[in-house]
Every structure is written in structure tokens, then in C-alpha cells.
Amino acid sequence: MSAMRKQPPFFTTTPSSSSYSLPPFNTPLTPAQLDAAFQKCLDLQNAGVTLHSKRPFAALLLAPDKTSVLFTHLSISHVQHAEAEVARLASIHYSQEYLWDCTLVSTWEPCAMCTGTIYWANIGRLIYAASEEELNKLTGAGNEENMTMSLPCREVLKRGQKAVEVLGPVKPWDDRVIRESGKWWKKHAVQKEKDVNGSREPELDSDYSAADLQSSIDWLS
């Protein structure tokens, strides 16, 4: 009887008899690769908020080399979340075998819908900066802009038959994502309380200027 493969810490796997029952990677991302991926993802999120009036969510897909970015996406609507759109587009352009060796990186923990899409796209690794629980604290109960669920992505994947690897939340990136995202949610809450008066809304109090954001995402072109 063969010995079970020892799993890296903080990773969740689901037993299965399928060809995807073992994790796709022998080694995790290096600290440098993690930092680079999260920086790109947070830059993308901040650019989306500041330049394109999007909500504070972003995701990207890393190639098997754990460095090259294959896709990026922002949150478009309540059903077109960043993670789900990355997974959907990836499933159109790449084979399931190839995607099993890819990594989806997100500023926030994917919801149940996004996690399911990642699973069916056959993306082998998921990494997120900040947890759904922390998002719930930011959005609050009954927030129609984002009715945050209380269903961790690991719980969703436990019901599946693939050993999708999960890493998150990741410090110090969770604190950075929470801080930057919190500015948008605070501003949104204030706007909701105001009467419509046609006045110009104040700019986001971000650590990133519009020029900095445009420069920081030059790697996308």
C-alpha cells in the first residue's frame, strides 16, 4: 500500500479516485512569486476602482510557471465576479489538463459560485489574500451591493472529487487588501446615505494615485 503524499501546510485536498485526486504541484509558490502575484492583483483591483468605477475585487490566472499571467479580470456584476470570469475564459482557451497546473490568484476569497466555476474549469490551485469572513465585516449584513455569503471556499471544494489546492488568507496581503477595499465600502456606505443632489463625489482616499495605478499595470499591455 503506497504512502499518502504529504501535503504542504494550509492546503486543502479532497480524496478521489479520478486522475485529479492528487495535488498538481510538487512545490508551492515561492514567497517572491506570491508577493509578485498579489501585488499585480491588488494593483489591478485598485486600477479598477480608481480608473474604471468597478467594485474592489480582482483575480488573475498564473501559468504553470507560476509567474506568467494568462488572464486578469475585475468584478463586472453580481453574477460576473472576477474569479468566475477568469475561470470561465480560461476554460474556453485552455485544456483541462493544462489548467490543472495553473493558479488562480484573487484579492478576496472566492464565493461559492466562483469556487464552483474554478472547480469545473479544472484549475488546480487557488490562492486568495483576504477571507470571506473579513469581507462580511466590511460589507455588513443586508448590503444589497454585496450580499456576502458565509460559505468558505474550502467547504465547497470538500464536496468535490478533485484535490484543488487552496492557500489563504495570506499575510500581510490580507491586511493590505482589507485596507484598500475598506475605503471603497466606506465611501459607498456614505453615498448610499446621502440624498441625490448632483454634487461631485470626493475622490477615493487611496494610497495609489491615478498615475501610479496606470503605471503599475503596464505589465498588462
- Identity (one letter) of the amino acid at 68? S
Sheet holding 69-74, edge to edge: 69-74, 58-62, 103-108, 125-130, 165-167
Please count the CA atoms within 13 angstroms of the CA of 73 that sit on its side-chain side: 22
**116 vs 105: CA distance, rounded Å:** 15
Q: Could you tell me whether strands 103-108 and 58-62 are parallel, antiparallel, or unpaired per DSSP bridges?
A: antiparallel
CA distances from 26 to 8, 12, 20, 125, 161 (A): 9, 14, 14, 12, 20
Which residue is catalytic, options 83, 85, 132, 180?
A: 83
Contacts of 197 (CB under 8 A, 6+ apart): none
83 is an active site residue: yes
> In terms of Cα–Cα distance, which of 214, 127, 152, 144 is closest to 185?
144
Question: Could you list the active site residues?
Answer: 83
